[in-house]
């Protein structure tokens, strides 16, 4: 039995732009744009670095790792967070 509901997604329309949530049918076009823009996009993407080396089962001092990354990549913005909630 159908209730006759149609999902309506919000849209923002401009003269040369349409903003709306992605749908599955957008994937191929998005992938093409992503591939063409890869060199420009990569420098803006966040990089996650874990201080736990699960293969060697070693835990590193995260501040030392951050310092080493800053040394290796001086133009990188490096932030350290411990993942604990502050109450």
pLDDT tens-digit readout, 12-45: 999 999 898 888 888 899 889 888 988 888 777 7
Work out the number of other CB atoms within 10 angstroms of the CB of residue 67.
13
Alpha carbons 52 and 63: distance in angstroms, whole number: 13
Q: Is the pLDDT assigned to residue 84 strictly greater than 60?
A: no
Angle at 75 between CA 85 and CA 40, to 5 degrees: 95
**For 57-78, how does the pLDDT look when each residue is reduced to its tens digit (9 = 90+)?**
555 677 887 888 889 888 888 8
């Amino acid at each position: 039995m159908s209730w006759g509901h149609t999902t309506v997604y919000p849209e923002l329309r401009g003269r040369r732009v349409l903003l709306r949530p992605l749908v599955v049918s957008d994937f191929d076009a998005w992938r093409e744009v992503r591939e063409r823009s890869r060199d420009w996009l990569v420098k803006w993407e966040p990089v996650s670095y874990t201080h736990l080396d699960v293969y060697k089962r070693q835990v590193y001092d995260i501040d030392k790792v951050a310092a080493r990354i800053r040394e290796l990549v001086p133009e990188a913005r490096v932030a350290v967070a411990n993942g604990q909630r502050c109450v």
